[in-house]
Structures are given as C-alpha cells and as structure tokens.
A and B are shown apart, each in its own frame.
Chain A
Amino acid sequence: MPEITRDEVAHLATLARIDLSDAELDHLAPQLSVILDSVASITGVAGDDVPPTSHAIPLTNVFREDVVVPGLTAEEALAGAPEVEEQRFSVPRILGEGA
C-alpha cells in the first residue's frame, strides 16, 4: 500500500484551508499513512466479488415531489451569521478566487 507523502499532506492541507507548520506536517504525515493502511486492510478482506460501494443501503430513486414547503424566515436564516449586512451574509472577500 503506497503511503501518503508529506507533500501530499501539505497539498491537502492547502485545499482544506488548514495552515500546517513544517513540524505539524512531519508529525501528521506518518500518522495519516498509518490510518490509510488500516483502512486499506479492508480491501484485503473483501473478495474480488465484492465491488466498492459508496452507500450502505441498496436503495435507489428516492425522490421528493416538486412542491414548495416553507423554510426559514430571513431572520432565522441569518440568526447564526457572524455578520449581517443588507439582509445578507457578510463574508470576507477571498483573495485570488474570483467566481
């Protein structure tokens, strides 16, 4: 089982917006490798006739009727927002990432 490299952990941390120091990377990368190895041991147990699956229950086509149901009021929706302006969620601009 290929282990996860320090560089890969650094890349994932960047993607997840987690600021890790060099010391933390040194510390975490080997730990993540151990975790991945442990999870990977499941593939050894599953036979070739067991396909990978993303869902634990064999259900498909669970649909909702296209009907409007009441949600939250704007006041309720914004109640947990750190900052509100003009009845909108006020968020810091994220530099270098235009939509």
Chain B
Amino acid sequence: MTAPTTDTALMPFDDVLAAYDPALGLEVHVELNTASKMFCGCPAVFGGEPNAGVCPTCLGLPGAMPVVNGKAVESAIRIGLALNCEIAEWCRFARKNYFYPDMPKNFQTSQYDEPICFDGFMDVEVEGTTYRVEIERAHMEEDTGKSLHVGGSTGRIHGADHSLVDYNRAGIPLIEIVTRPILGAGEKAPEVAKAYVAQLRELIVALGVSEARMDQGNLRADVNLSLSPKGSGTLGTRTETKNVNSFRSVERAVRYEMQRHAAILSGGGTILQETRHWHEDTGITTSGRVKSDAEDYRYFPEPDLVPVAPSREWVEELRGTLPENPTVRRSRLQAEWGFSDLEMRDTVGAGALGLVEETIAEGAAPQAARKWWLGELARRSNEDGVDLVDLPITPADVARIQALVDEKVVNDKLARQVFEGVLAGEGTPDEVVEKRGLAVVSDDGALGAAVDNAIAANPDVADKIRDGKHAAAGALIGAVMKEMRGQADAGRVRELILEKLA
C-alpha cells in the first residue's frame, strides 16, 4: 500500500462540473443483528475473546456442513421489500473463491448471478429535490474474519510481516445492497451519495434488522465513481473507494474522487480501474488494488446449501411487517411536530430525523429536540468530524437535559455545559449537573443576597426601576448572573428585583 500523500492534483469542484458528468454507484454492506451466524450456530457477535465464537463450520474444517439461518433470509427479504425490490422465486448461494486469510475456507459463501432481491429503488431527497436511486440487487453473504497486521518493524520474533486473525466475525450474516449507476446528480452527487446512505441506514433501523452503526462497522459503504465528458452520455472508468464509514465521509470521498478524476482526465491521463482506500484523517483516497485478471473469483453454486425458494405467501406475510414508507413517514412526522418545510428539510439533511423522533418519544417538545440536535450537537459533530448518530449521547440524554431546563434546574446556558459533560463521558445528565455543580440557584435566600448586592452597587439603575422603567432591570439581572456565575434562574432574579424595587 502506498503511503498517504496529499500532493495529488485536484481540480476545483466547480471546474469539474463545467466539464464532466459524474456517475455514482454505492455498495453498502449491512451486518444483520441475528443471534447466530449465517450458516452455523455461533454467536453473531464481533469482539470479545478472540476465536471463542467459532465452530468447525465457520472455520471451514473438513466435513463441516453449513445450514442457512432462516431469520437472516427473512431479514434479507424484508430489506429487499423495503427497497421496492423483486424477491427471487428461487435462488442459490455461490462460492466466491479467493485466497486471503480473512476467510479460513478459501472462499466466501455469497450469491452470484441469483441474488435474493433485485430491481428495486429508493427515492432520496436532497434540498427539496427527489433523486430516484435504482437498486440493482441485494444479496446474502457472510462477513470475514478480522486481521491484525503485524509489521516487521515492530521487532517481533519472526521479523517478517505477518497477520493475526480472529474468526469471531467470520460468518456473521451480511446483506450487500448494490445500486445501479446514479446519473444526473451533477453538483449534488456528493450530497446524493450521503443522503442515500443516511436514508438507507434509517430504513435498516426502522426494519430492526441491524444495529446499523457505521462507526462499529455494522454498515459499510463502498463508493464507486466515474466521470464522463459533459453531455456525452457515456460511462467513464470507475474507481471503487472501500470502507467509507460515515455519512460525512461518503460525501467527502465522492467530492474528492470527482476532483481527482477530473484532474487526471483533463491532463490527458486515464483512470486506472482500481480499489482505493479512504483516509478519514486526511480526507483523501490512495491507490489500493488494481482490478485485473487475478480478480477472477471462479464463482460456482454452493453444493452444500440447497436453493432458497421463498413462497409468495411468505413474501407477502413479510411485506405486511414493513415499517412505514419513508416519504409517508416524513409527512406524518412533519404534521405531528408542526415543523416548517425548511425545518423538516434541515432535520432530514442533518441525518437527525430518527434522533429527533426518539428524543420526542423520550418526552421532549419537538422544537426543543430539533434545537439541540441541529444546534449544539450538529456543531459538535462538525467540530469532531463525526456523524450526529455517532456522538456519545443518546436521545434519552437529550430529552433529560431538556427536562432539566423545563424544570428550571439548569438554564439554556448551563444546559450547554451539561451537553459538554455528557459528550465528555462524565455520566448521565443528572450526574454531570451534580458533579459539575451546575444546578441554578432559585433559592430566594442566596439569590436575595446577590440581588441586594447588585442594587447597592448600581443605585442609578435601581432608581430608574423604582420610577417604573422595568426595562432597566436587565443590567441588574446581568450583575446578579455574574455574581452567581451564571447559575441562577434569570426569571426568578427578575421577579426578585422588581419585588424589592416596587
């Protein structure tokens, strides 16, 4: 692998659009949340003690026989139906043969030319415009093991580079969802890519078939991109950027590849069809593996697994379990919450729809839920370069902080410090208030003393208020808040000032 460099030539984004049309394609892997693996009874849980969640089947030991997890097939069909796909009447698994130690069998059990779901679509909304993303296929396969690469430079006994493999993840059910080339997105291509992945995640969450945490690798996106001369209607050579693991990175990776391709093409160069690695820290891609003859997987039907032929009755029964259609759901939520079109668009665009919904379900008022997620928390997610959903705070926490504001335990300003504390891992909102001593003082004794001090220090202002100029109270409130270091209920301070100077 080439070391990441930042000296790659890039064309300014506007210039790219003047000369080229982008074609996008997305492949998303969804790790299902079944209890057991795809083809054996091992726990479908990654992590924990290495190689303690394996058996002869997922280790590919001789004589072991795989059996399909029925629940995983059900989840695959539900995903397909939610994506408006056809469900195959009959399909098979296939062996994808390759030699890499992440699969102990020397093949991955996948599906080849007979995916269980095909020919679907998802309508994706970006800034008020709807883009129809066509789904080519969604097929069943299994995850691979996790390799730790040990470099020769670490001074290990063997000296040479080697890898350490943990097969706990090998065999966890995966659904791979592949789009057709997305054309016509133009300047919005990066946003459309991001919105597609964000909306797909929302759908997966609503289906309840995966934990769908991108930062945990439950949902992984590969971004295909090519450019063609503007208006030519052709498809250029594509690159495939692997494992882009946040919505934000999907957008950045598309933008980066558009600019990189354009710089090469405009210089008379050609794009190499290859996989590329995404570097989250520097926001660039680097060359991976060149697609070549060696990439011949010699797929053939898996002889150890019988075909899957979902009856139409079963498919219809599963159709009945689908969550609300996303467009219908948005209209309903917007009406329930009383959001303006712009507020709703911003909420969806920020990937906050589900988060706001959960926060409201936890008891917060719709506008309060929106305010925190799109204000304080959106700012933090930008600063930290992580998606909102990956911030270490839950909708329940946000609802609790708003409840603390409503109960006048903290004011808005202090609430920001509570957010800061929760995000810093200091505990629940109540624990942060306790540990940081953030509760506002509404006890009249302590406040009264501060009000008396403020009046004594500002006799001119006090006189104006006595004369009925209540607007002048702001200066005294400010003085009291300063003395109380912000930890006072401003409303109560005002009342006390007016009472004392009545």
Q: Which residues of A contact B (CB under 8 A)?
A: 11, 14-15, 17, 54-55, 57, 59-74, 77-78, 80, 85-94, 96-99
Contact = CB atoms under 8 A, between A and B. Distances in A.
Interface stretch (B7-15, B39-47, B323-331, B447-455): B39-47
Interface stretch (B158-166, B188-196, B262-270, B346-354): B158-166
B50 A88 contact: yes
A89 to B, nearest CB: 4
B18 interface: no
B41 A71 contact: yes
21 contacts: A11-B293, A14-B294, A17-B99, A57-B306, A61-B306, A61-B308, A66-B34, A67-B36, A74-B51, A85-B150, A85-B164, A87-B51, A88-B165, A89-B101, A89-B165, A89-B167, A91-B162, A91-B165, A92-B160, A92-B163, A93-B161
Contacts of B97: 15
B485 interface: no
Interface in B129-180: 144, 147-150, 160-167
Contact of A94 (B54, B100, B288, B293): B100
Q: Which 5 A-B pairs have the closest CB atoms?
A: A71-B55, A63-B70, A69-B41, A66-B71, A54-B301
A88 B51 contact: yes
Interface in B60-80: 61, 67-73
Contacts of B289: 96-98
Interface in B61-117: 61, 67-73, 90, 92, 97, 99-102, 104
A91 B34 CA distance: 30
B443 interface: no
A10 to B, nearest CB: 11
Contacts of B100: 94, 97, 99
A65 B36 CA distance: 9
A67 B70 CA distance: 10
A64 B309 contact: no
B235 interface: no
Interface in B280-308: 288-289, 293-294, 296, 298, 300-301, 303, 305-308
**B59, B61, B144, B298 — which one has the most chain A CB atoms within 10 A of its CB?**
B59
Interface of B: 1, 34-36, 40-43, 49-56, 58-59, 61, 67-73, 90, 92, 97, 99-102, 104, 144, 147-150, 160-167, 277, 288-289, 293-294, 296, 298, 300-301, 303, 305-310
B70 A66 contact: yes
A78 B72 CA distance: 28
Nearest to A56: B303
A66 B172 CA distance: 12
Given A94-B99, A97-B100, A74 B50 contact: yes
B49 A87 contact: yes
Given A11-B293, A64-B67, A89-B167, A77 B101 contact: no
Given A66-B70, A66-B72, A71-B41, A77 B163 contact: no
Nearest to B41: A69
A74 B306 contact: no
A60 B306 contact: yes
Nearest to A95: B161
A32 to B, nearest CB: 15
Nearest to B147: A99
A64 B308 contact: no
Contacts of B42: 68-69, 71
Contacts of A11: 293, 296
B36 A88 contact: no
Given A60-B309, A62-B306, A67 B41 contact: yes
**A55, A67, A68, A98 — which one has the most chain B CB atoms within 10 A of its CB?**
A68
A44 to B, nearest CB: 22
B69 A63 contact: yes
B51 A77 contact: yes
Given A17-B99, A61-B308, 15 more contacts: A11-B293, A64-B67, A64-B68, A66-B35, A67-B35, A69-B36, A70-B41, A71-B53, A72-B54, A87-B51, A88-B51, A88-B165, A90-B163, A99-B100, A99-B144
